[in-house]
Amino acid sequence: MADKNAHLKGRRRYKADLADMEEACAAGIVIEQGYMIKKLQPGDEEGAIELIICDLEGQHVLSLNLLISDTSDYPKNHVFFPSSPDTGLPPRLLNVVEGVLDTAQPIRQTIQNVISTLARANTGTTPQGFRSQEVEFDDDDSSIDDYGAFDQFDGLDLSPTTVSKFDLQTLQNNFVETVATGYRPGLLHFADDDFAVSISLPVITLAKSIPPRALMAWDRRLLSRSQHLTLLISGFRGVYPPLDSSGAYTTLAQHSMSSLKFKVGLTKRYKPGKEYAKDAGRTFGLIVPDAEDEVRMQAEKALEDIEYDCDAYCYSAETMQAPAQVEEEDVEDDGSFDRFSLSSSLETLLDQALLKVIQLRRKFGLGWAGAELLLSEMEKTQTTAEILFGTQRELILAADREEIRLGRTNDLPHDPLSGLGQDDEVNITLTTFSYLIRRLSLCPRYCIVCHDRLNTDYEALKPYVCDSKLCAYQYYSFNRGPSLEYEIIHNPETVDLLISITHSAASEQVIEEPLPIGMGLRVPPPDMTKIRHPPTPPPQSPYALPVPPVPQQVAIGLDGMCDFDDLSLPMMSASIVQLIDSLPSVEDMKKHLERKIKAGKLKPKLKDLDPKVLPAAWSILRWCVASCTAHLEEITSGEESIKNLDPGWRQFRFSVGSPDAEAKFKAAVTAAQQRSANALEFPSLYAFHGSPLKNWHSIIRHGLWYKSIANGRAYGHGVYLAKEGNLSMSTYAQSGRSIWRKSKICPTNCVALAEIVNLPEQFVSQHPHFVIKDTHWIICRYLLVKGTIESNFDTVLPEPVRNPTPLVKLDPIHPTTLGNKRIEIPDPSYQIHALLEARREEYREEENDEEDLAVFQANISVSQVIDDGEDFDMDVDMDYMDSYNDYEDYRDSKLVTSTEKGKAAMILPFTGDDWKHDSDWVLRSIENLLPPLSEANPSATMAVQRELKSMLKEQESAKSLRELGWYMPPDLIGDNLFQWIVEMHSFDENLPIAGDLKARNLNSIIFEIRFPPTFPIGPPFFRIITPRFLPFIQGGGGHVTGGGSICMDLLTSDGWLPSYSISAVLMQIKLAISNLDPRPARLSADFDRPYGVQEALIGYKRAAATHGWQV
């Protein structure tokens, strides 16, 4: 992209190049070869540039002013005249300054050359803090670009004495921690010694913490197939970990010019394919491209231009892949990294703010919200963090407290920075992903462009922009919102409805914020005769419009047009009506977009449909759709539609209000059920809410309840709903006086059907309307729109279906009727549940690929994994591990001789506070246990009885249970001799698994032991019932298989010896679980989900197959 201004020459090229450089500097200080450009700005004169170069500690190195002779000579024949305002420059710096004169290069290259000369001039005296570390890992200067670390990585043997740029051990620790939090890390190692890291989460798992209806509203593609939300971090430049404990780049990272870049998208697999990852991570930096790069970039640019045109209507104009229409053809490409509606917004947030926010958190001990507020204030006021933290401490801390409150109703992700020690390094992989999930969960609360908190008194379902004009401009001109073209193709009726209600609101002069201002619209002077009604707000209404300002003189340009933003509100309304009237029908737009095109030809664009339509009209159309923060989708299947409804009504699925509205509503329903037996049987009521057509433009943007109080207070304050639809419709849902003539659906009336908590005695009023004060008690489900309906609309003839949507069980005391006919309402959450279920069924757990297995299995010495290994008897354990692969020795020397040595290593001295059996815990855990699958024979029975006696004897005679390390609850012995329940407990407290058990308050690991009819010739089968361990493929260890069985050679028919005692085997299993090689055993995020019956059976069969058993 270095030559993206190549088509320009002279002054314009100069301006464009300078603007790019300014932008690069404004986005963050540019770091280059051990220096940073702290400031870069145009000087007072045309052709003047001022910049300040610092070292990485922020120490001033050089101020440089450049003045170009004549910008029309730029970029090839100009001369930069350099000077420096710094006094007393040493000769080497003077040389650097003067060196600029020799070249006639573009701005970027000129500055690059200055820095290179500076780096050369300073060899041996590079900025402080720089050399010391470098010397440690290599004292040869030329090795700066030596990415030798990866050679070691390939060999998977990272010797602890090697200090290298790539610390595999830290990566492994970070990956394991990421997995333990429930996310899936991945490494993508590129051929050129760089790498990227991906972190992902299946969207179905995401749907457990973010309400699925919100996910659907943000981008319906999120749930359109089984896929992952994936973050890709690149720009490491071979260095890991890139950040130190303060969240700043390590000197090693600065040295290597690491500059992290973040990409957010959807992948079918748990990580993107390498080609896609590489494309996504390609960055724009201050690097002089070599010839090969130049060729590659040119090719890419050419490709991009084509893609831009082809995909212009697929999502954002940037790099959206997977265009809507070719989705089906694309599904085979498993590696693709697809963007979705929030990708750009989240990426710019991460690129611009993440590291700064982390640093503020680390420095001031703040939470995410506090640090975000501090950063935003710093940028607004250009004040230092210290000063602001001093003056605004209370506000900043209040933001953190508010987030804690927020966490009670929103399922916010685990925060890896909370509780992190002062000197602990930041796990950038996990931290970034947690921050991403947090911001995604809370996205409607922030401006999608500038990322600041919105100051609205309602929370929308979908994210939108703040009221800054700049944000609106960027949102619309870069298509940051939902794709209009996608909506026209997939949701034409909704688009039609949105245009129509905007038209109605504008015609009747009730349109208000958000207005389409800041979009740079050039419009014809409005025709005021189009306005039918001057606004006549009821005088007492708190929501009355401000008195319209006196229309000012509008400046009309040479093009005969004026700036929309300069118009008065009534004129804006008139202009909106005029622009909408000039649009073709949505049907025509859809036909145009869906026109078949020959391969290689560009896809049709909306603006080519009718050259007479002004660009401003297309922008208004985009605004009508993209400013709608509710979710509306027409129901076209008879099965999902409301029954007994007059066929003149179109039905839309309708969601409005904050993403967690559903959760709040459910909580209210549950509370009501504790108070009312009737609510227990019929949890909710359904009622209608009507409002004149002209108000719906505002209602779907601000929420149903925001305005509705204006409808009258005859029956008290609150939201008015009616059980009988006609009451709502005739009284409140007045038809519009003006309609958009091109509308196919021609809406005349709108009415919402809402679900309400069935506790009418708590309502403000019950007759003739329900009047409800608490808005959490109401949730919108459907929007009914009266208008033109084609005769073949299928609600008229509901077709028989195999799996009909269940109907809501309506309370007979308060029937919902329309024209005195009882209506039947399909369960509104059924569809989304069915969708989630389908995604869940499609989802396949993937194994780690070789690259990730290599990370997890990398052989890192035990002493390094345990931070504080003092109490851990390493000798014995290492001894155990050494012999682990040599089972002959192992059996003879240890197992049969009752493992005295092993016991010594694992069991702590008895200190009085012995482990206690908790029978509730065990009984709860074995509820769903399968009965044994095989019959026993007499010799097996005798052998098992002998084992049992010996076990109980050992248990009774143990000095302490803690020393014993296992426990057989005597109350569970007897029912079935061949099925034992044994608890394992009292792990060395330095082990990660011990910490996991303690943190989750789990008393023990519960085992089932099954004896085969061939016992003691055949081995018993050991498996864990609960808690669930982190599977090996996700980074778990401890020789526990995915189904909970134990993977040890001595338990296979080949490895088993009849002389083994069960207690000795238990001890070996305990050692295996305690074994940190290749990775420590950890509990899974869903540790409390016992290994299920089905799973156990599969695991059992798998184990049986390996063991050569008959099942």
Contact footprint for Zn ion (CB under 5 A): 447, 449-450, 466, 468, 471
Nearer to Zn ion, 450 or 632 (CB): 450
**Min. distance of Cβ 597 from Zn ion in angstroms?**
37
**Min. distance of Cβ 455 from Zn ion in angstroms?**
11
Measured CA distances, 986 to 597, 983, 996, 1086 (Å): 70, 10, 12, 22
CA distance 1033 to 1022: 20
Nearer to Zn ion, 454 or 484 (CB): 454
Peptide bond into 1058 cis (omega under 30): no
Nearer to Zn ion, 235 or 444 (CB): 444
Nearer to Zn ion, 471 or 1081 (CB): 471
Instruction: Give 1094: exposed, middle or buried? Use CB within 10 Å, 0-12, 13-18, 19+.
Output: exposed
Nearer to Zn ion, 214 or 450 (CB): 450
CA distance 1041 to 1103: 10
Place of tokens 């540790």: 1087
Annotate 234-294 with DSSP letters as a single string.
E--TT-BS-B-TTSSBPHHHHHTT---EEEEEEESSSS--HHHHHHHH----S----HHHH
**Min. distance of Cβ 357 from Zn ion in angstroms?**
17
Q: Which residues fall within 8 angstroms of residue 112, CB to CB, at 6 or more apart?
A: 32, 286, 287, 288
Nearer to Zn ion, 454 or 499 (CB): 454
Q: Which helix (H) or strand (E) holds 595?
A: none
Q: Copy the structure tokens of residue 284.
A: 């724009």
Is there a contact between 1018 and 1107 (Cβ–Cβ < 8 Å)?
Answer: yes
Alpha-carbon torsion angle 713, 679, 780, 708, nearest 10:
10
Nearer to Zn ion, 471 or 739 (CB): 471
Nearer to Zn ion, 447 or 589 (CB): 447
**Min. distance of Cβ 471 from Zn ion in angstroms?**
3
The letter for the amino acid at 614 is: L
**Min. distance of Cβ 466 from Zn ion in angstroms?**
3
Three-state DSSP at 72 gives helix
Three-state DSSP at 1029 gives strand
**Min. distance of Cβ 214 from Zn ion in angstroms?**
20
**Min. distance of Cβ 761 from Zn ion in angstroms?**
45
Nearer to Zn ion, 479 or 816 (CB): 479
**Min. distance of Cβ 484 from Zn ion in angstroms?**
21
**Min. distance of Cβ 472 from Zn ion in angstroms?**
8
Is there a contact between 63 and 50 (Cβ–Cβ < 8 Å)?
Answer: yes
Question: Cβ atoms within 10 A of the Cβ of 833, count?
Answer: 11
Three-state DSSP at 185 gives strand
**Min. distance of Cβ 467 from Zn ion in angstroms?**
8
User: Does the CA dihedral 759-765-768-774 come out positive or negative?
Assistant: negative
Nearer to Zn ion, 152 or 468 (CB): 468
Nearer to Zn ion, 449 or 461 (CB): 449
Nearer to Zn ion, 186 or 518 (CB): 518
CA distance 111 to 255: 18
Q: In this structure, what DSSP letter does residue 814 have?
A: S
Is there a contact between 603 and 597 (Cβ–Cβ < 8 Å)?
Answer: yes
Nearer to Zn ion, 251 or 348 (CB): 348
Q: Which residues fall within 8 angstroms of residue 834, CB to CB, at 6 or more apart?
A: none
Is there a contact between 932 and 1100 (Cβ–Cβ < 8 Å)?
Answer: no
Q: Residue 901's Cα: distance from chain center in Å?
A: 49
**Min. distance of Cβ 700 from Zn ion in angstroms?**
21
Q: Which residues fall within 8 angstroms of residue 126, CB to CB, at 6 or more apart?
A: 34, 55, 119
**Min. distance of Cβ 626 from Zn ion in angstroms?**
14
Instruction: Give 204: exposed, middle or buried? Use CB within 10 Å, 0-12, 13-18, 19+.
Output: buried
**Min. distance of Cβ 340 from Zn ion in angstroms?**
20
3-state helix, strand, coil in the chain (%, to 5): 40, 15, 45
Nearer to Zn ion, 460 or 745 (CB): 460
Question: Cβ atoms within 10 A of the Cβ of 1108, count?
Answer: 13
Nearer to Zn ion, 179 or 450 (CB): 450
User: Does the CA dihedral 358-360-362-365 come out positive or negative?
Assistant: negative
**Min. distance of Cβ 474 from Zn ion in angstroms?**
8
**Min. distance of Cβ 323 from Zn ion in angstroms?**
28
Nearer to Zn ion, 447 or 580 (CB): 447
Nearer to Zn ion, 348 or 1045 (CB): 348
**Min. distance of Cβ 451 from Zn ion in angstroms?**
7
Closest CA to 733 of 685, 686, 787: 787
The letter for the amino acid at 178 is: T
Three-state DSSP at 818 gives strand
CA distance 366 to 417: 10
**Min. distance of Cβ 448 from Zn ion in angstroms?**
8
Q: Residue 129's Cα: distance from chain center in Å?
A: 37
Closest CA to 248 of 137, 164, 360: 360
CA distance 84 to 1021: 80
Place of tokens 């100009």: 78
Nearer to Zn ion, 468 or 637 (CB): 468
**Min. distance of Cβ 558 from Zn ion in angstroms?**
32
CA distance 721 to 767: 10
